[in-house]
Amino acid sequence: MSWALPLPVVIPLIAAAVCTAGDHVLPRRLGDAIGVVGAAGAFAFSLVILLASEKQTQLTWFGGWKPRHHHVAIGVAFAADPLGAGVATLATGLVLASVLYSWSFLRDAARAYDTLMLLFGGAMAGFALTGDIFNMFVWFELMGVAAYALAGFQVAEVGPLQGAINFAVSNTVGAYMILMGIALLYARTGALNLAQIGHALSGHRPDGLVIVALTLLVCGFLIKAAIAPFHLWLADAHAVAPAPVCLLFSGVMVVIGLLGVTRCYWTVFDASLAAQAHDVRAVLVALGIFTALLGAVMAFLQRHLKRLLAYSTISHMGIALVGIALLDEKSLGGASDLLLAHGLLKGSLFLCCGILLVRYDGIDELQLHGKGRSLPVLGIMFGLGALGLTGLPYVGSYLGHAQIDEGATANGIDWVQPLLMIAAGVSSAAIFRAGARVFLGWGPREDPLLSAEPSESPPERTASMPALFAVTAALLVLGLVVSVAPGLGQRVEQAAGRARDRIAYVDRVLRGRELPAPPRPPVAVESTATDSVLYGIGATAIAFGLALVGLFRRRLPEIVRTALRFTLGPPLAALRLAHSGIVGDYVAWITVGTAVVGGVWALLLR
């Protein structure tokens, strides 16, 4: 099956090349069809690789350059373990959904759009499947370039341009940091293959070079993953990109950042940092919780629907980072389940926003007040999506939340779970509040708490509503059943365990040793602890309660409102100031974050 490994990358790339070469020659529909075929082919082969990787990590050396000379890797390898293959499948699947949705949704410059979308998907698949650190950087940059152009798509307004610039500059600074980290590791080990770098570093105590390489790589990837304080660009980029592009940004592009951190840590840094894992963990858990809460609060302050959803994405990325940062199998499995459900559900919510834009010409919660009442089906889908994100037991992202909570408990950390519950509750409260205002007409038409954003003009293609609804509904249903899909939780945990196993990875990649196939996990709905059920119910209660408070604030007694204004006013104003929309501020915060993370690790890890 290893011959299939390049295909999820190669098929979209060649489809993109064909689309461009034939741009002025082929009829429009044929070009569109090539796009769909390219995306579908990539998805199909990703699935095939995923199934094969569960038995054995799939391995191919490009150009046939196998390692030799005392296990020195010469060529570039794709090494697909189930975690990487899973992310590649998610990426290509969401790209397929996006291409199908866009078929109906966009008309302006459709060919360029499809091409960029295919390149974006191929690059993400390449990043997820590769076993070479510089190759990761190349796919990371391809992803980035395609994304910057897709974000600035609607060039006739300043908003998209600002969003695209903030996006491009922030992520490029991140890419340079990653490159510096790669250079440092190359200087120490003379290798670019992940397994070989890890092998070369093992047994040596970490020194300044390794610690700073860890800092640069982690911070560079966390910029892409939109973790605070590196997150500022995400909301700007989401607010202005077309809805199917936002689907990809929130659904899988940020996941790539987290995968980068995971992959680099477990194949490279675990070798020398295993003894001090708790120090690494401490910093990342702190960042994760900070992000989860910050994203949730900022989400509540938005009225632009896509920006609101973007901050909710940031919040969920924080929760997922906590799962990854706990550095054990259950939590990493939980993070993966959470990101799977989140990608599907958040994606469907963005597609709902696209339908709202097409139908009602607006994307602002207050402007759309009550208009959604004529589309009750959309309202139900929106509500279900929000519910899935909250973590109500056995719906949507619940499985992921539960596994992370259990992982935290197993590690003896008890204060994390309530905070994550609050974060999930608050971010979902924002979505429920918006949904209630738009689809039920609840709440006042003015709300000074929410920041005003530029409006968006709808796309020019006359959309086929059934097609748009179909794609949205498909994603929604898939997302909701993640928690109850039999066997999924156990298989994801097993995949997480494989991802953490550096020795087996090195054996497989450098020595070609085929490992015995792991036992098949049971095909049953994973049961979760009672605590997790309670946290899930708690998050839902917070979500509903806070949404109602947000809508009907005026009915609270005057004393309560004044107290809230005094205590919450200044911090919220400061938060707003920090999210200024100015790229210089964003890069300044990136520098601050990197210096702090690096400084803390310098003190702890030496």
Partner 1 sequence: MSFLPYAVAAWVCIVGLYGIVTSRHLIHLALCLTVMQSSTYLLLLAIGYVKHGGPPIYKGVKLGTTSVDPVVQALTLTDIVVSVTVIALILALALDVHKQAGTVDPDEIREMSG
Partner 2 sequence: MTRRVRIGFFLPALAGFAALLVWAYTGIPSFGDYQGPYGFVINRISTPLRHMDNAVNSTTYDIRGIDTMGEEFILFAAVIGVVLLLRDEEGRSEDVEDDTGSDVIRIFGTLAIGAAVLVGLWLVSFGFVTPGGGFQGGVAIASGALLLYLVAGYREWSAFGDETKLDPIKGIGGGGYVVIGLAALVSGMPFLHNFFSGGVTGSVWSGGSAGFVNWSAGIEVAAALVILFSEFLEKYIVPIAKSR
Where does this chain bind partner 1 (CB under 8 A)?
Answer: 134, 138, 141, 144-145, 148-149, 152, 155-159, 161-165, 168-169, 172-173, 175-176, 179-180, 183, 186-187, 192, 235-236, 239-240, 301-302, 307, 451, 453-454, 576, 579-584, 587-588, 591
Nearer to partner 1, 97 or 226 (CB): 226
Tokens of 547: 């949404």
Phi then psi dihedrals of residue 128, to 5 deg: -70, -30
Please give the residues from 575 up to 604 whose contact with partner 2 meets the rule CB under 8 A: 577-578, 580, 582, 584-585, 588-589, 591-592, 594-596, 598-599, 602
Nearer to partner 1, 564 or 595 (CB): 595
Residue 430's nearest CA partner among 411, 402, 449, 406 is 449
From the list partner 2, partner 1, none, pick the one residue 169 interacts with, judged by a Cβ distance below 5 to 8 Å according to partner type. Answer: partner 1
CA-CA distance, 338 to 341, in Å (whole number)?
A: 5
Q: Are 318 and 289 in contact (CB under 8 A)?
A: yes
Q: Are 130 and 59 in contact (CB under 8 A)?
A: no
Nearer to partner 1, 89 or 196 (CB): 196
The set of residues, in sequence order, having a beta carbon less than 8 Å from that of 41 and lying 6+ positions away, is: 7, 11, 12, 15
**Nearest approach, Cβ of residue 24 and partner 2 (Å):** 4
**Nearest approach, Cβ of residue 172 and partner 1 (Å):** 5
Q: Are 104 and 463 in contact (CB under 8 A)?
A: yes
* Secondary structure in 3-state letters for 28-41: HHHHHHHHHHHHHH
Q: Is 207 in the site for partner 2 (CB under 8 A)?
A: yes
**Nearest approach, Cβ of residue 235 and partner 2 (Å):** 16
Residue 396's nearest CA partner among 347, 460, 440 is 347
**Nearest approach, Cβ of residue 428 and partner 2 (Å):** 29
Among 179-187, 357-365, 503-511, 512-520, the segment contacting partner 2 (CB under 8 A)? 179-187
H or E element, residue 159 = helix 158-189
Beta strand 58-61 with 77-80 is antiparallel
Among 23-31, 238-246, 475-483, 492-500, the segment contacting partner 2 (CB under 8 A)? 23-31
From the list partner 2, partner 1, none, pick the one residue 451 interacts with, judged by a Cβ distance below 5 to 8 Å according to partner type. Answer: partner 1
From the list partner 2, partner 1, none, pick the one residue 509 interacts with, judged by a Cβ distance below 5 to 8 Å according to partner type. Answer: none
Q: First CA to last CA across the chain, in angstroms?
A: 44
From the list partner 1, partner 2, none, pick the one residue 532 interacts with, judged by a Cβ distance below 5 to 8 Å according to partner type. Answer: none
Residue written as token pair 């809460």: 293
Nearer to partner 1, 301 or 476 (CB): 301
Residue 421's nearest CA partner among 404, 445, 443, 435 is 404
User: x-or-dash pattern for partner 2, window 369-398, by CB under 8 A?
Assistant: ------------------------------
Tokens of 219: 């911070």
CA-CA distance, 113 to 85, in Å (whole number)?
A: 26
User: x-or-dash pattern for partner 2, window 319-358, by CB under 8 A?
Assistant: ----------------------------------------
Q: Is 210 in the site for partner 2 (CB under 8 A)?
A: yes
CA-CA distance, 413 to 326, in Å (whole number)?
A: 10
Please give the residues from 73 up to 102 whose contact with partner 2 meets the rule CB under 8 A: 74-76
From the list partner 2, partner 1, none, pick the one residue 173 interacts with, judged by a Cβ distance below 5 to 8 Å according to partner type. Answer: partner 1
| Residue type (1 letter), 32 | D
**Nearest approach, Cβ of residue 575 and partner 2 (Å):** 11
Please give the residues from 112 up to 171 whose contact with partner 2 meets the rule CB under 8 A: 112-113, 115-116, 119, 122-123, 126, 134-135, 138-139, 141-142, 145-146, 148-149, 152-153, 155, 164
From the list partner 2, partner 1, none, pick the one residue 381 interacts with, judged by a Cβ distance below 5 to 8 Å according to partner type. Answer: none
Nearer to partner 1, 81 or 453 (CB): 453
Q: Is 573 in the site for partner 2 (CB under 8 A)?
A: no
Q: Is 470 in the site for partner 2 (CB under 8 A)?
A: no
**Nearest approach, Cβ of residue 425 and partner 2 (Å):** 29
**C-alpha angle 221-94-88 in degrees, rounded to nearest 5:** 55
**Nearest approach, Cβ of residue 178 and partner 1 (Å):** 10
Tokens of 326: 């706990």
**Nearest approach, Cβ of residue 64 and partner 2 (Å):** 4
Which SS3 state, helix, strand or coil, does residue 604 take?
Answer: helix
The set of residues, in sequence order, having a beta carbon less than 8 Å from that of 326 and lying 6+ positions away, is: 281, 285, 332, 404, 407, 408, 411, 413
Tokens of 316: 């969920």
**Nearest approach, Cβ of residue 215 and partner 2 (Å):** 7
Please give the residues from 420 up to 439 whose contact with partner 2 meets the rule CB under 8 A: none
Which SS3 state, helix, strand or coil, does residue 425 take?
Answer: helix
Q: Are 503 and 57 in contact (CB under 8 A)?
A: no
Tokens of 345: 């559900």
Q: Which of 158, 190, 451, 565 binds partner 2 (CB under 8 A)?
A: 190
Q: Which of 18, 50, 128, 506 binds partner 2 (CB under 8 A)?
A: 18
DSSP state of 27: -
Tokens of 166: 């903030």
Q: Are 456 and 240 in contact (CB under 8 A)?
A: yes
Residues composing the chain? 606
Q: Is 487 in the site for partner 2 (CB under 8 A)?
A: no
From the list partner 2, partner 1, none, pick the one residue 163 interacts with, judged by a Cβ distance below 5 to 8 Å according to partner type. Answer: partner 1
